[in-house]
Chain A
């Protein structure tokens, strides 16, 4: 093979979708090439066509898509040729790593079986030989105890391990091109850092070309050589990592980079004490929450011995990895989850063991913004009704008075008033999340619980959302428990930060104390693992982290 020949060469490549008799373009006139051993990152917000264009490369799109142009893998044209030829290239030369490892692996087969299957489809290989090769691959992706892992089912592995298994499967045939579609989005930061290390090692070991699709600028800075920025299907800018990050030309690229939250980039926010109220709005004391045992599954202690106080007008960020119990704390604070022992006081009233009637009273002082805007709004109710419901049920207003209030609330979250008659499915994710805030603030609560409200949003949407939340908080002076896995987001918003691990509070302190001088080892590890959207800085951090290990 000629070394000068690009592994993937894409020319005047278009993807269109047929909707109701009209073609809507998803990717327009893309041109790029990827050489061996090179990582090209395609970045853009959701809807920019980055995923559709990469799926379209190997004909993996739904039947309402139209793909035109030219895609050459190692010089062989992939578009408009027979399915048989394309199939030969899939898996053998081009491998995919998907976003969601749980759904991308078949749950009824063992990990080993699935790797062996790929091997035996493409090579003339005996079962024993294939198994040996599979175990070799499992070892290569650094999964613990390879010969045992071979016989494990996907559900027996953790999220990060599953992603490793996925990678092992895609590497089975030493593909020349690896297409990774948001490979770390579903993972925690510390796990993400490990997977990124692994991918970097593999690239240098196997000399494959990698096409990385992601929205996370930190990941891009960590891994990519070249970047292609997409917006609404159009290639906005294409350059080296260094140029894009340090000398972005196009205004959209600049805007995108500006929207990315960076650790420690915001000036310290001072807390103005709200007059005459020194009592905490939320007081958690020795809180223990247990999910009761079900059948043979033993009881699970999700939160143990948790103490935290939030004062009026204060935003406290609660961070931790998935499964650390941070969401459980938030839900318990609003009375959605029963408390095993300890106490939760909201504005002086005890929630633990309160009756339904008492709870209803307490809930007038609290609001919650949920993680998934798609699931937290009733799909059958117009959003005006969703927003007005807390007021209606509290019996405060009826009829036209309520209508006015709903319009005011829509104004305050910067949504057009006409949206009140729309249904959730007609809104974008960011708009839905604004509706979520409007509803949470309908009763002007003293305490707002925000449970990962930005995890489903794009960076630029997230930036606007955080701005909005901050503005509202300064205006209304509610206390806020902001739950997030993203340290950079918490950094922007909060006055104090609490760190959780395995249901325990590890460390709590002011923003500066936690981010600049973390005392606990876990906090240090967490902060070190966050990829920083700056290639040079990230390289230094990475080396420091690896040296520390």
Chain B
């Protein structure tokens, strides 16, 4: 009998707000909102495409210069192959121009095609497509490594200082302040100078050790407010240890902030690597990254601008995709973010209610 009485109240109390979330877990709601974010979805597809394309083209290569484990890619040239300079598709007096032709035959009469060196060749005849693919692969690797190490450190340090407060907080946050005050570029330059020749993996690891500061501040703030919520007291009353409260109860609630700022951290990382390599402190020749490619050929900008275009285009595309994904995630995690309702939605709903 008592159950029967409950039924109308369930229908009455905030029933309208509940319509949208009925039967969905928190993660499903976030995921659904993310799927609705058009720019973010396009960026996810774009980024996946870039990563697959780049990694399959260049093949994977780990380890240092001398004993590397490699898997071959589908592109016939590697970054160490030196071919004869070709003057195909070039204007008078130039060699190594891009042979890529995206205009169909009815416009310029030559038809679409890749040609021998679609992105052209560099000074000594290396295939520029191979170089750019290798460079992008390196840059993406560094980005992922910096992102994951930064995320791990930032989350743990932020969580500990936000949860325990007091002197632990003071010490950790002063350390954070200290690292923030030293310009990233200088830290990067020192690290790049020391470990740049040991391969991108180590470079990424060391850069990651300094990239957590912003994230840890955010996580700390989130923990400071979440630890005052009553469910934390409830967990404590239930007998939960500090570790359980931090990782089981508070961290899942802070995951939105973490995911969002890690994506933004990653797009920052790719730009940091680019900047370092441009200054000559990052990836060291003969290996390449997107930044080092730009820096190597900056002098040829006026004559052979394509040496600039391709790596520049990839940097912008990757950073933009990640930024849009981060943006989409932030919107999805923000419960106050309401979907904008268009006139069309309203008309549709009107029609539906009239039909019914």
Contacts and interface: CB of A to CB of B under 8 A. Distances in A.
A439 interface: yes
Contact of A64 (B14, B23, B252, B341): B341
B108 interface: no
Nearest to A430: B9
Contact of A66 (B18, B252, B346): B346
A17 B230 CA distance: 32
Contacts of B230: 370-372, 375-376
Contacts of B174: none
Contact of B233 (A23, A26, A336, A425): A336
B91 interface: no
Interface of B: 2-3, 5-6, 9-16, 18-26, 229-231, 233-240, 244, 249, 252-253, 338, 341, 345-346, 348-350, 352-353
Interface string A368-383: 1011100111111110
Nearest to A46: B13
Contact of A423 (B25, B349, B352): B25
A47 B17 CA distance: 9
Contacts of B3: 414, 416
Contact of A389 (B16, B22, B23, B238): B238
B13 A367 contact: no
Interface stretch (A98-106, A189-197, A457-465): A457-465
B237 A394 contact: no
Contacts of A232: 11-12
Contacts of B249: 378, 381
A447 B11 CA distance: 34
Nearest to A378: B231
Contacts of A26: 16
B239 A22 contact: no
B10 A431 contact: yes
A24 interface: yes
Contact of B253 (A22, A380, A425, A426): A380
A393 B233 contact: no
Contacts of B11: 232
A21 interface: yes
Contact of B9 (A17, A19, A24, A461): A461
A231 interface: yes
A441 to B, nearest CB: 12
A429 B13 CA distance: 8
Given A47-B13, A232-B11, 6 more contacts: A18-B346, A393-B244, A414-B3, A461-B9, A464-B5, A467-B2
A204 interface: no
Contacts of A46: 12-14
A17 B348 CA distance: 14
Interface of A: 17-24, 26, 45-48, 62-64, 66, 231-232, 331, 334, 336, 360, 363-364, 366-368, 370-372, 375-382, 386, 389-390, 393-394, 414, 416, 423, 425-426, 428-431, 436, 439, 442, 458, 460-461, 464, 467-468
Nearest to A471: B2
A377 B21 CA distance: 17
A334 B252 CA distance: 26
B239 A390 contact: yes
A428 B346 contact: no
10 contacts: A18-B341, A66-B346, A232-B11, A370-B234, A376-B234, A378-B249, A380-B252, A416-B3, A426-B21, A439-B238
Nearest to A336: B233
- The B contact surface, by secondary structure, is helix
A22 B346 CA distance: 9
Contacts, number: 143
Contacts of A436: 234
A428 B9 contact: yes
A376 B238 CA distance: 12
Nearest to A422: B23
B217 to A, nearest CB: 21
Given A20-B20, A414-B3, A394 B239 contact: yes
Contact of B349 (A18, A63, A390, A439): A18
Contact of B235 (A371, A382, A389, A423): A389
Contacts of B240: 389, 393
Contacts of A430: 6, 9, 13
Contact of A464 (B6, B22, B234, B349): B6
Contact of B237 (A19, A334, A375, A461): A334
B19 A20 contact: yes
A416 B346 CA distance: 36
Nearest to A464: B5
A366 B237 contact: yes
Contacts of B237: 334, 336, 363, 366-368, 390
A436 to B, nearest CB: 8
A375 B229 contact: yes
A445 to B, nearest CB: 10
A375 B6 CA distance: 22
Contact of A377 (B19, B234, B236, B348): B234
Contacts of A425: 21, 26
A424 B112 CA distance: 58
A371 B230 CA distance: 9
Contacts of A22: 19, 349, 352-353
B16 A21 contact: no
Contacts of A379: 26, 231, 253
Given A389-B238, A439-B234, A461 B23 contact: no
Of B19, B235, B349, B353, the most chain A CB neighbours within 10 A belong to B349
Of B15, B19, B236, B237, the most chain A CB neighbours within 10 A belong to B237
A429 B6 CA distance: 12
A366 B234 CA distance: 12
B142 to A, nearest CB: 32
A394 B22 CA distance: 33
Nearest to A364: B239
B239 A363 contact: yes
Contacts of B10: 428, 431
A472 B237 CA distance: 20
A17 B18 CA distance: 12
Given A17-B16, A336-B237, A414 B2 contact: yes
B324 to A, nearest CB: 25
A23 B353 contact: yes
A378 B235 contact: yes
Given A19-B20, A367-B237, A425-B21, A461 B13 contact: yes
B348 A48 contact: no
A464 B312 CA distance: 67
Nearest to A416: B3
Contacts of A336: 233, 236-237
A416 B4 CA distance: 11
B345 A390 contact: no
Contacts of B234: 368, 370, 376-378, 386, 436, 439
A420 to B, nearest CB: 13
A369 to B, nearest CB: 9
A17 B11 CA distance: 16
Contacts of B239: 360, 363-364, 390, 393-394
Contacts of B341: 18, 63-64
